[in-house]
Chains A and B, each alone.
Chain A
Amino acid sequence: MAYSSIVYLLPFLGAVLLLYNGMPKKYRWCVLLLASYVFYWLNSPSTLVFLLLATAAVYFAGIFLNKIQDGFELSKKALDKEGKKKLRGVVGWQKKAVCACTFLFVFGLLAFLKYYPFFSENINHFLGLFTEKHMLPQLKLIQPLGISYYTLQAAGYIIDVYRGKYRADKHIGKVALFLSFFPQIVEGPIARFDQTAGQLMEGNRTTYKNLTWGAQLILWGLFKKMVVADRANPFVAEVFGNYTENSGAVLLMGGILFTVQIYMEFSGCMDIVIGSAQLFGVDLPKNFARPFFADSVNDFWRRWHITLGAWLRDYVFYSVSLSKGFGKLSKKAKEKLSPFLGALIPSAAALFCVWFCNGIWHGAGWKYLAYGMYYYLIMLLGMLLEPLFAKTAACVHLNRDSGGFHVVRVLRTCVLVVGGMTLFRAESVGAFGEIMLRIFTDFAPGSIVDGTLLHLGIDGWDFIAIAGGCIVVLIVSMIQEKGYSLRETVAGQNIVLRWAVYFALIFAVVIFGAYGPGYDQVAFIYGQF
């Protein structure tokens, strides 16, 4: 039941909405929880148990952490300063042990179910060099729906409780709903407990504004997904599927169109997700902020899959870079090497962890690891070379803050992103190498204009529809980037103009959407992680 499918949008969402509003306020969260488990069960009946296990694990771990903390607060009053310090140390270890056990369990499930096939294959490959026996067994594992997303939410909750950001919640229903809320279970956004759990439990009635705004956002998401992403899909599949037979120019087009496809699809899905949640008065954190206006790769990752980046920043980057070990190392490096490098070491190391995690989070495979490292290297080089850039710019009197240079930086970022996406879509690292080789040695620019493009799964009309959809999204994004809220503006117009806009959007989806005879429904790419 994909978020763009009729069965989700009409009967499912409709029934949940009616049930939700028909319930007394006190029990509305029960409807959401039930709907979430029904949604999960309909999509992936056999793996619901893993979600339940993770829920139970973090719930009880949280309660346990509360107990330890309460015990500490109670007994510390009677102690002097030295005693307090000592006790704090003991309590710290206890809490660490609880966290470690919980992580071992939830990440263990994730690691086993998602990464075992990759791991065992490579280990066996390695073992195969020495012996034919003692191979790891090949297991057929089903990856639970949304495990990559809810595991991060669960871990974030435990870390926050451990760090004392908030106390663990005693209400198991609240924790369960936080982890399983049906709009975000498949593809995120990855929320924090203090962001959504409270709202989910409030049970506010669906207001007219939430209903209409939610519906509009869903419609906008459908537009991006059906008019642009699904229409581009056959081309991308064809180009990447037969990459050895295509010229460099066509492969570059494939890379660009895949970048367009994945953006329209993922951000479109987020619009549907956030719109769905809005129907119930829940504001989910946003996952996209016009990433193609980013002026650096760092900026891009602050605008693309925001909640994943923020999760890795808060729980991986700061945990590593602010750890005592790196603090000492940095101090030493500052004295022995140079202040610049000394300051850089904790960041560089932490950044490595972030991109390693980002890579393998996307999937079990060398390709995804390479994808993480691709961005790590770009960022590391950027950091190392920054003084050099600054000096060079000063030498040639280049104003790095000028509008013209800004455009250059945006374009450069786009090129780097398309490169990353090409690696992401390519069959393997080797295939990516081959594609790059072709782009640089066998570009054949003529193949763009000689009609080759029109025989790769889609025709000229499809290209026009894709281009039209992109232009609409681009204009909307430009207006938003300037700081205007387009929806507020439209909502402030008279009813004729307002409805004309909505009807235009509906008919754009109905007529130009890639669905019906000849089109298979395309599964959301990010649901697979």
Chain B
Amino acid sequence: MENQKKTTLQNVTKCIVFILLLAMLLMGVSYLMAPKDNTKESGITNPNANGFYSEPKNSIDVVMIGNSDAYSGFSPMELWNACGYTSYVSAEGLQVPAGSLAMLKRILDYQKPKLVILETDGMFTKTDASQNIVNAFNAVLGEPFSVFRYHNRWKKLKWKDLLRKPFYTAHCVTKGQMLSNKVKGYTGEEYMVETDKRAKIPGSSIIAVKQIQKLCAENNMELLLLEMPSESSWSYKRHNAVKDFAKEHHLPFVDLNLDRDRFDFDWTTDSRDGGNHLNSAGARKVTRFIGEYLKEHYDLPDHRDDPNFDVWHEDFKAYTEQVKFTEDD
């Protein structure tokens, strides 16, 4: 009996040591395999969304997180031009709130925004149990165990990159926005038909948004829920669901699908793909409206006359050039 107890104890110890050792090795390999820059060539996922790493530390006052609706519809440079606010859009295709949470945590390592805008469309993306576990893991331990995200880089590893410290060099003049001059309008019926029905927000999204809210509170950041115009993904049922959620959790919610005349929105000219995503022209209209809303509700600093931010004026020039020459594809 005594002996048996001893072996059990030994075995339990062995298991624990094994798991700890494994965790340490995984963290070590994660460090080796993590991209050491945020350029496209470095192997980082979504270099545009990760451009905030190479902005001067704590220089960004507003960040937007969310899915493709966000990086298509929000233009940090237009916001700069209109209000002088520094902003960045760290959105990724199909980003769900758990992914937004992971992104926000990474942003906070380098930036100290005053306002976080969460684009709400991603809240309705359906994920299965396995994806939820992966997303939750990434939101909590994604950075130390980045090997699970970056393991495919084994094909492109360079010896000199293995041990060096990250050094971020990419400079994204659109500050995360994806430009498009393509016009493919939406000419169908009005999609925001008032109803009492509510779409269901997946539980995993609710948990993650609450976590985002908590993180914002801990870091003295305001949180704003916002929905970009999108005919194909949005509906009044979803509007109601988010409105209820926002009310329950005391969060402001702006739905740009309603009263689109407020910012002269025109579905025939402002979409790049027939009503799902906005093009650069749509983004300009939407962003100007967001600027007015921010001016009215928040006390954000105007940096246009601050010499420390001169580079933003140059970036704006570069942005206007890029908008002009972005091919219509």
Contacts and interface: CB of A to CB of B under 8 A. Distances in A.
Query: In the complex they form, do A and B come into direct contact, defined as C-beta atoms under 8 angstroms apart?
Result: yes
Interface of A: 1, 5-7, 10-11, 208, 459, 461, 499, 502-503, 506-507, 510-513, 516-518, 521
Interface of B: 7-8, 11, 18, 21-22, 25-26, 29, 33, 45, 128-130, 133-134, 147-149, 151-152, 154-155
Given A510-B26, A516-B149, A517-B149, 19 more contacts: A1-B129, A1-B130, A5-B130, A6-B130, A6-B134, A11-B133, A208-B8, A208-B11, A459-B155, A499-B18, A502-B18, A503-B22, A503-B25, A510-B29, A510-B147, A510-B148, A511-B29, A511-B147, A517-B152
Contact of B152 (A5, A6, A506, A518): A518
Contacts of A516: 148-149, 151-152
Contacts of B133: 6-7, 10-11
A512 B151 CA distance: 7
Contacts of A5: 130
B163 to A, nearest CB: 17
Contact of B22 (A1, A506, A512, A521): A506
A440 B147 CA distance: 45
Between B11, B130, B133, B148, the greatest number of chain A beta carbons within 10 A of the residue's beta carbon is seen for B130
A1 B146 CA distance: 24
The 4 A-B residue pairs whose C-beta atoms are closest, nearest first, are A461-B155, A7-B129, A7-B130, A208-B11
A523 B22 CA distance: 28
B22 A511 contact: no
B11 A511 contact: no
A403 B158 CA distance: 46
A76 B292 CA distance: 99
A17 to B, nearest CB: 13
27 contacts: A1-B129, A6-B134, A7-B130, A10-B133, A11-B129, A208-B7, A208-B8, A208-B11, A459-B155, A461-B154, A499-B21, A502-B18, A503-B21, A503-B25, A510-B29, A510-B147, A510-B151, A511-B29, A512-B151, A512-B154, A513-B151, A516-B149, A516-B151, A517-B45, A517-B149, A518-B152, A521-B130
Contacts of B155: 459, 461
Contacts of A502: 18
Contacts of B26: 510
Between B22, B128, B151, the greatest number of chain A beta carbons within 10 A of the residue's beta carbon is seen for B151
A1 B133 CA distance: 13
A237 B154 CA distance: 24
A502 B22 CA distance: 10
A498 to B, nearest CB: 10
A500 to B, nearest CB: 11
B3 to A, nearest CB: 14
Nearest to A518: B152
A111 to B, nearest CB: 32
Contacts of A7: 128-130, 133
B281 to A, nearest CB: 31
Nearest to A8: B130
B153 to A, nearest CB: 9
A115 to B, nearest CB: 30
Nearest to B153: A511
Contacts of B18: 499, 502
Nearest to B137: A6
A511 B7 CA distance: 34
Contacts of B130: 1, 5-7, 521
A295 B41 CA distance: 50
A502 B14 CA distance: 13
Contacts of B8: 208
A330 B237 CA distance: 75
A499 B22 CA distance: 10
A507 B29 contact: yes
B157 to A, nearest CB: 10
Nearest to A511: B151
A98 to B, nearest CB: 43
A461 B7 CA distance: 45
A511 to B, nearest CB: 5
Contacts of B21: 499, 503
A195 B145 CA distance: 43
Nearest to B11: A208
B144 to A, nearest CB: 14
A11 to B, nearest CB: 7
Nearest to B147: A510
A185 B18 CA distance: 32
Nearest to A464: B155
A68 to B, nearest CB: 47
Contacts of A503: 21-22, 25
A506 B155 CA distance: 18
Nearest to A461: B155
Between A511, A517, A521, the greatest number of chain B beta carbons within 10 A of the residue's beta carbon is seen for A511
A521 B134 CA distance: 13
B300 to A, nearest CB: 34
Contact of A507 (B11, B25, B45, B134): B25
A59 B8 CA distance: 41
Contacts of B45: 517
Nearest to A460: B155
A7 B134 CA distance: 9
A423 to B, nearest CB: 33
A524 to B, nearest CB: 14
A285 to B, nearest CB: 28
Between B26, B148, B152, the greatest number of chain A beta carbons within 10 A of the residue's beta carbon is seen for B152
B35 to A, nearest CB: 13
Between A5, A502, A510, A512, the greatest number of chain B beta carbons within 10 A of the residue's beta carbon is seen for A510
Contacts of B152: 516-518
A5 B25 CA distance: 23
Contacts of B25: 503, 507
A69 to B, nearest CB: 45
A11 B33 CA distance: 28
A511 B26 CA distance: 10
Contacts of B7: 208
A513 B151 CA distance: 8
A301 to B, nearest CB: 35
Contacts of A512: 151, 154
Contacts of A499: 18, 21
A518 B153 CA distance: 12
B141 to A, nearest CB: 14
